[in-house]
Structure 1
Amino acid sequence: MTERDVVLPGGLDSTTDIIEVATHAEDHGYDRISLPEVTGRDGVTLLATLAERTDRIGLSNDVFSPWGRSPAVLGQTGVTLQELSDGRYRMGLGTSSSDLTEKWHLAEFDRPLRRLRETIDIVNQVTSGDRIDYEGEFFDGGGLKLRGVEPAEVPIDVAALGPKAVELAGRFADGWVPQLFTPDALADRMADFRRGADLGDRNADDLRVAVTVRSCALDDAEQARDIAARQIAFLVAAYGPYYQKSVASQGFEAETDAIQSAWDDGDRAAAVDAVSEEMVDGLVAAGTPEDVRSTVERFEAVDGLDAVRVGFFGEMTADQRRWTVETLAP
């Protein structure tokens, strides 16, 4: 049976709001909650807090940057959060973006897939209790191992869009976390994930694939779709090149070109107008409760999918998020 998760939005007003969303999701039977870490609150502190404030729901993050923490610190983080949560934690990693890497972490965005792969390798060494011993292009050396805390299995989920990154997730990680895919495009990309699992001599069925579906359920379907269109335009035009390339490759090249052109010209309204009805229908779940449930069910029908992660749109109110969570409760 496909699981359902909730992805916390960034930029909530307070830690109290974050705890409220998490406990509300737990109360409504969701399997896992994940939270972002970009330039706002520290994700580790929040996860430790949620480990104490919740009882059953799984805990994840979206995503820790391989430039933001060393692999050893990520390993320490993983085993500590497993201890605090009684084994409910899954670590989210990804290549991050050039903007975040260079303008926030003040590092060079160099060969991101290679750095991610080496980070995964070393995190696994640390969490297993082995002495670090690594020879790579970014990391070379070792000699120390965990002390004062028990090793623990820490599953790693990779957020990825393109074929090579998705193949890497299947080959080296324990799960894949995609977003902004139509169900058909997700099914096509699943082949890259399975190929990676085969290359790593692993069974793809043992790995967790959890797609993020940004969702907004309102009685006013047009209001929900307008909210969705504004978020899609922002993600395509302002969130780095990866989303634009991925969405364009799904049959929306004309739309993404128009969105980017209008955005670059400073015409935000025209950028939103360039988001087609087909993009809203395929990439997200927005409309009446019945519409949203139907869209999520189309994603759940994709072969190989283990979970739908219910995400939100940035301008949604707390009440709109609560109603959407209740609408899509397992």
Structure 2
Amino acid sequence: MAFDVALDGVLMLSDHSTIDDAVAQARRYEDCGFARVSMGEVTGWNVVPVLTAIARETEDIGISNDVFAPPARSPAMLAQTALTLHEASDGRYRLGLGPSSPALVERWHSGEFDPALRRTRETIDVVRAVYEGGKVEYHGEVFDMGGMSYDRQVPDDPPAIDLATLGPTAVEMTGRFADGWVPQLFTADGLRDRLGDLERGAEMGDRAVDDVRVAPIVRTFAHEDGDHARSMARQMVAFLIGAYGPFYGNSVADQGYPDAVEEIRAAWEEKDTAAMAAALPDEALEAFAAAGTPEEVREHYREIAAVEGVDAVRCGFVAGMSQDDKEGTMAALSEL
């Protein structure tokens, strides 16, 4: 099975004690031939300075964020940020947006989560209005603004907009309005099903679905001791399902694992991480993560890459991996 799509990398910023360390990891991705590097923003660093540092200290690798939550920044500020990072990276930046989660929006940013999808849609509208230059006038259900304009020249090729979405309606919206889709915790069959929603959305927007860059994140750990890699990945996947808001768990349940999701969530209520990991079936771990020997990991990547419509596979490391583990995993993927 061939691997003929791009290979992206994810920075786990919680693994890095300094911004210089994060930049060094981005350089390793570039040296290994990865097409893009991205990172999340939750309650740690503001990632804009980190992205800027990476842009200034690399030459060719694309940079992205996975993702900004619109309640954390106004749509106009998101547009300003995107255009500034476009300038800093010589056009290598893609803006990542997503509805986020109730916990992050309400308990960290002190906002209201709903209407999450409408807010995301209107954020895209406003960012694109800024991209068009001139005076911005926008009167939506969530945002009502006008009378001011971006006071710098807008480039002819402003940053693409990627969305991190999961459910059918959200992915349909992605196909209709965004330039890229960054899903996570999907099996190969789950991706195929959801790509139908992406295609339907593109048709509704009179767009070509081939123009939407699809880059699923796959939690990855390649190690000669495959059982060790699977054990660590099991903890990570179970934590994502149980602790990262309702949407990952709902998506995994819809892909055929409702009983496991229910058990993992019950264990999370007790903060019993060992029980969470134990509740994840071997079959689910194999389907949702690339963990095992180097060849087993490469085979998983080939399976995801073979899904029609996938343009890149995004390597997300597993919590607790050492730097040697990461470099070994990157070396294994470089043989694809």
- What is the CA distance between 1:10 and its match in structure 2? 3.0
Give 1:129 shift.
1.3
Tell me the matched-pair count. 330
The equivalent position to 2:170 in structure 1, one of 165, 185, 189, is 165
1:207 has 2:212 as partner: yes
Residue 151 of structure 2 is aligned to residue 147 of structure 1:
yes
1:122 is the counterpart of 2:133: no
CA–CA distance in 1 between the matches of 2:185 and 2:73? Answer: 27
Give yes or no for the alignment of 1:186 onto 2:191: yes
CA–CA distance in 1 between the matches of 2:59 and 2:214? 24
Q: Answer whether contact 2:224 2:293 (CA < 8 A) is retained.
A: yes
Shift of 1:249: 0.7
Q: How far apart, CA to CA, are the structure 2 residues paired with 1:153 and 1:59?
A: 14
Distance in 2, Cα, partners of 1:127 & 1:44: 19
SS in 1 for 2:256: helix
Task: Select which of 57, 64, 67 maps to 2:61.
Answer: 57
Q: CA deviation at 1:149?
A: 4.1
Provide the rounded CA distance (Å) in 2 between the counterparts of 1:33 and 1:76: 21
Which amino acid is the alignment partner of residue 227 of structure 1? M
Alpha carbon RMSD of aligned pairs, Å? 1.1
1:30-64 deviation digits (Å, cap 9, x = unpaired): 10000111111111111111110000000000100
C-alpha contact 1:82 1:88 (8 A) present in aligned 2 = yes
Task: Quote the residue 1:317 is aligned against.
Answer: 322
Q: CA contact under 8 A between 1:157 and 1:177: conserved in structure 2? A: yes
Describe the SS at the equivalent of 1:106. coil
1:77-118 CA-to-partner distances (Å, cap 9, x unmatched) read 111111111110000000011111111111111210000000
* Structure 2 unmatched ranges of 5 or more: none
Q: Distance in 1 between matches of 2:90 and 2:241?
A: 38
What is the CA–CA distance in structure 1 between the aligned matches of 2:65 and 2:134, rounded to whole Å? 24
Alignment deviations for residues 194-249 of structure 1 (CA, whole Å, 9 cap, x no partner): 00000000000111010001100011101100001101111111110001100011
For 1:17, what is the secondary structure of its paired residue? helix
Query: Does the 8 Å contact 1:22/1:33 carry over to 2?
Result: yes
Gaps of 5+ in 1: none
1:93 aligned partner, one-letter code: L
Give the drift of 1:266.
3.6
Q: Secondary structure at the match of 2:237?
A: helix
The one-letter amino acid paired with 1:47 is L
* SS at structure 1 position matched to 2:219: strand
What is the TM-score with the length of structure 1 in the denominator?
0.98
After TM superposition, the score normalised by the length of structure 2 is 0.96
1:269 and 1:59 map into 2 onto residues whose CA distance is 35
1:315 is aligned with what amino acid? G
The 3-state SS of whatever aligns with 1:143 is strand
CA distance in 2, matches of 1:78, 1:271: 38
Shift, 1:327, TM fit: 1.2
How do 1:217-236 residues align onto structure 2 when only pairs under 5 Å count? 217-236=222-241
Q: Does 1:291 align with 2:287?
A: no
Aligned letter for 1:117? R
Distance 1:54 1:157 in 2: 22
| Higher deviation after alignment, 50-59 or 263-272 | 263-272
Match 2:21 to one of 17, 24, 27: 17
Residue 81 of structure 1 aligns with which residue? Answer: 85
Please give the alpha-carbon distance, in whole angstroms, between the structure 1 residues aligned to 2:319 and 2:291: 13
User: In the alignment, what sits opposite 2:33?
Assistant: 29
